Chain A
Amino acid sequence: MTDRPVEIVSAPVDVVIVEDRRETADRLARAVLQLAQVRTCSIARSVREGLFELSQIKPRAILVDLGLPDGSGVEIIRAAQAADWPCDSLVVTVFADEDRVIEAIAAGATGYILKNDRPEEVGRNLLTVLEGGSPISPQIARYLLNLVPQPEEPKDDGLEIRLTAREKDILRLIAHGFKRQEVADKLNITVGTVGTHINNVYRKLEVGSNTQAVATANRLGLF
């Protein structure tokens, strides 16, 4: 999800980071504050503090670690989801593994941040999500492909999507590690077309982003 061209968000925004490990939190805060669009960045170290900051600051985005001393960050993500102002929540994870991302997305998160990513990447990912982008990773591509019913073993849980051959090709290449540009080169199409195809796949799940797609899958009881 790091390879999407990023447009500049004009209005300055407030960001809250909920992370109990001090050094990690500081590093993320520095990465976030590097962005010109970010006005303030406060740090909370527990669920209680996070909820308090959320209600006080009313941030545009909140970065949440799930394993907090007094509970799970999922609670904060839910609160942000229910907020009456637009607030994107991003799960802060070490590995961006499917379990963590899906758990957060089920709660309403709209993206993820790798704790150990380079500061520029952290900033870029945050911006992508703020702009309503549809990031994708090999893990998520693989997951989407698994939703396509196999002719020899029909899924009986009702959840399935129909993909065109081209869409399947794109997802398969992404799952096999190819970057957006490489996918475009291999298939002789533009990067923009690749993005369009991915968006089409998301639309087939009747959602606007891959993260919500996974959330839908989750609601339908796939996990």
Chain B
Amino acid sequence: MKELLSERGEVETAPRGALHTFALLLAIPLFIGALTTLIQLLAINPYPEMTRGERLDSAEMCLQHADAQEPDCQDFTPVTLPHVTTLERDTTVVGAHYRLTFDRPASDDLQAFVAPRVTDHARIEVNGIRMSPNSEPDGPLWHDWNRPIYGALPEPVLRPGGNRIDITLTQSDIGRLALYPVYVGEADAIRLTWLSRFAFRTGMVRMNIGLAAILGGAFFALWRMNRRGQGLGWLPLAMAGATIFGWQLAYPNMTPPGSWWRFASILSMHGTAYCLYMFLRDFFQERSRLAFIAVHATMAVGLAILLAGQPVAGISATGASFIGVAIAIICILWILITTPLIARADRIALVLLFGLSASCAVTAWLDSFLVRQVVRLPLGQVAVTLLFAGISWTLVQWLVEIKRQRDRLSESLRDQVRAKSAELDEMYRALGRQKEKQVVAQERQRIMLDLHDGIGGQLVNTLAYLENSGRDDPVLRNALEDALGDMALMIDSLHSDLEISAALGMIRNRLEPLLDRHHARFEWKVEGDPRFDVPTRSNVLGMMRIVQEAITNAVKHSGADVITVQTGERDIWITDNGQGFDQDVEADRHPSESGLGLKGMRQRSSDIGISLEIDTSDKGTSVHLFW
């Protein structure tokens, strides 16, 4: 995950230094405390007045003692609800009896009552008639602490004028008796109150059990798919713990008998907190030894307190044992705040979610274990729901990130494949072109060589015949030699690398025998490296033909004995010391009489885009090619 997030460039470096850490560790409990206070301030009055009913918050109360016979209440004490009686371990108190009175409302609508919250079991009688189920005096104790109690008050139950509600509270192992304000009023409104309170408390707890079971399965599957890292294996364990203590909270009357179950459910709360810490530690690759040791040490201490069963600093053993859980929560928040692996937005959301969850848990703990009732609205069930939301958010964020990375990877792979394919296509095309070129070149070569072997050989053979037979015909000989010369030119141009000097060198090599025969010689002044602007093969061949023609003309027709070939940057001169010629007459000569003739030379020079100047006199002729 580190790699994934660091690519986004949103990694924040964890704060370093002991002071920083200390400040942060101090800030986290303060933060949770502030949130807790805020929640309690927002829940100004959890038991408000009703418009269509009456809130009964004053009662007369008396305690029942084990040795006393029922009914025992002679001296009632007026109390205000909510009213809590904390029972010491060695108390003789077995129950509390409350008597509430209300006037019969004027309305003819069906009346009802709801006791939103009681601890632990409530036996309710209205005008002496028992209204609550599961409250037979000799039956097993039925826990009512986790849900509101509703009862309809049909017409025969109610009396005109004053009516009386008697609520008898008993408990088994909670250590306190508590009654909160009771509502009496129109049945539909009362029922709505009952339903909404039931949904918010009992319903949410039961929903949490379902969520824990489902998430546990999902996390287990996730872990099976990704066992290597991220500590996903801790999550199913945490969910199993949540399911166990959730069961205790949701169905206290459907738990295995015996005190071991209660012990197990407390232990599962510790286990859940521990597993969550371990998960986040592995998931965010947090490596603080201090936190690790602190969590383990306090967990061990908590366990010891739980086993010892002795109150610590006025707090019951069970309550005190949560010290480990508290440290785990602080460390969890510490991880979330300091890990460099979360983007800023996600960090804020997660810290808020987990912080809220922690403060809700704090309300539940305060409500359960603090003797003085300071909490208006305990929100243990909300804590668990928020916790699940936080875990899910973390994982979803992770999965989304993975998907994003995978998409990006596959996108880049696709791009690469596309680019490579295009490259390959281009390569194939280039190869095709290359091959085509090669084939053309090879074919041209083959044709030239065929000509060379066939026609060339034939021409030479005919010349040899003329010589061997002694029937030398100058016209025929000239024609054959010209044809041979032209072929030589074409073959040379095949191998020419388009360098004018080299082409001239080859021409000289070819024409040297001709000059020998005519007792002429070259004055060779090829200097520098003249180049055509567009040095194509056909341009060079054209130039070679003009030069060859000029030299041949000079040798054959002018009677010159010195032929000078000279080059400049963009010039070629062919001059001779012969007798010159009449340009008008020469121009009209048929090309076959003299190779290309002047006309052909001019035509060719204009074809390849170079200029041709011929200057002739009785002192000689100069042919000037320039471009």
Contact = CB atoms under 8 A, between A and B. Distances in A.
Interface in A102-135: 115-118, 121
B502 interface: yes
Nearest to A28: B464
Interface in B408-466: 445, 449, 452-454, 456-465
Contacts of A24: 457, 460-461, 464
A174 interface: yes
A99 interface: yes
Nearest to B455: A94
Contact of A21 (B460, B467, B492, B499): B460
B524 interface: yes
Given A23-B468, A27-B467, A177 B461 contact: no
A66 interface: yes
A206 interface: no
B497 A97 contact: no
Contacts of B465: 23
B505 interface: yes
A97 B492 contact: yes
Nearest to A141: B505
Contact of A138 (B453, B454, B460, B505): B505
Contact of B502 (A22, A117, A142): A142
Contacts of B462: 23
Contacts, number: 106
A66 B452 CA distance: 11
Contacts of A2: 512
B517 interface: yes
A197 interface: no
A26 B457 CA distance: 14
B366 interface: no
Interface stretch (B135-143, B483-491, B617-625): B483-491
Given A94-B484, A175-B501, A178-B524, A116 B512 contact: no
B509 A139 contact: yes
A23 B463 CA distance: 8
Contacts of B460: 21, 24, 94, 115-116
A142 B453 CA distance: 24
Nearest to A114: B513
Contacts of A99: 445, 449, 495
A146 B497 contact: yes
Interface string A17-56: 0000111101100100000000000000000000000000
A182 interface: yes
A26 B465 CA distance: 9
Contacts of B507: 177
Given A94-B484, A95-B487, A97-B492, A139 B457 contact: no
A175 B492 CA distance: 13
B526 interface: yes
A210 interface: no
A98 to B, nearest CB: 5
A27 B468 contact: yes
A208 interface: no
Interface size bucket, A side? 35 or more
B506 A138 contact: yes
A177 B452 contact: no
A117 B513 CA distance: 7
A211 interface: no
Contacts of A98: 495
Interface string B497-535: 101011011111100110011000010101000000000
B554 to A, nearest CB: 16
A21 B452 contact: no
A177 B506 contact: yes
Nearest to A103: B449
A66 B506 contact: no
A177 B526 contact: yes
B509 A115 contact: no
Contacts of A139: 492, 495, 506, 509
A22 B497 CA distance: 36
A6 B494 CA distance: 32
A4 interface: no
B622 to A, nearest CB: 19
Contact of B457 (A115, A118, A137, A179): A115
B452 A100 contact: yes
Given A95-B491, A174-B505, A26 B464 contact: yes
A176 B504 contact: yes
Nearest to B508: A177
Contacts of A175: 501-502, 505
Contacts of B459: 94
A64 to B, nearest CB: 13
B456 A138 contact: no
A67 interface: yes
A22 B513 CA distance: 23
Contacts of B524: 177-179, 182
Nearest to A143: B495
Contact of A94 (B457, B495, B509): B457
A119 to B, nearest CB: 9
Contacts of B467: 27
Nearest to A68: B453
B575 to A, nearest CB: 16
B509 A177 contact: yes
A24 B516 CA distance: 21
B501 A176 contact: yes
A116 B513 CA distance: 9
Nearest to B526: A176
A24 B524 CA distance: 32
Contact of B509 (A118, A137, A182): A137
A26 B506 contact: no
Kindly name the residue among A27, A98, A177, A178 whose own CB sees the greatest number of chain B CB atoms within 10 A: A177
Nearest to A115: B460
B452 A118 contact: no
A138 B502 CA distance: 7
A138 B463 contact: no
A117 B464 CA distance: 10
A138 B452 contact: no
Contacts of B452: 94-95, 97, 100
Given A97-B452, A146-B497, A176 B502 contact: yes
A115 B487 CA distance: 14
Interface string A140-177: 01100010000000000000000000000000001111
A180 B308 CA distance: 118
Contacts of B445: 99
A98 B492 CA distance: 9
A142 B463 contact: no
A223 B206 CA distance: 88
A21 B488 CA distance: 20
Nearest to A137: B509
Interface of B: 445, 449, 452-454, 456-465, 467-468, 484, 487-488, 491-492, 494-495, 497, 499, 501-502, 504-509, 512-513, 516-517, 522, 524, 526, 565
Given A21-B458, A116-B513, A138-B502, 16 more contacts: A26-B468, A94-B452, A94-B453, A95-B456, A95-B487, A95-B492, A97-B491, A97-B494, A115-B460, A116-B484, A138-B505, A139-B495, A175-B505, A176-B502, A177-B504, A178-B524
Interface of A: 2, 21-24, 26-27, 30, 65-67, 94-95, 97-100, 115-118, 121, 137-139, 141-142, 146, 174-179, 182
19 contacts: A27-B467, A30-B468, A67-B454, A94-B453, A94-B456, A94-B457, A94-B459, A94-B460, A95-B452, A97-B492, A115-B457, A115-B460, A137-B509, A138-B505, A146-B497, A177-B524, A178-B505, A178-B526, A179-B524
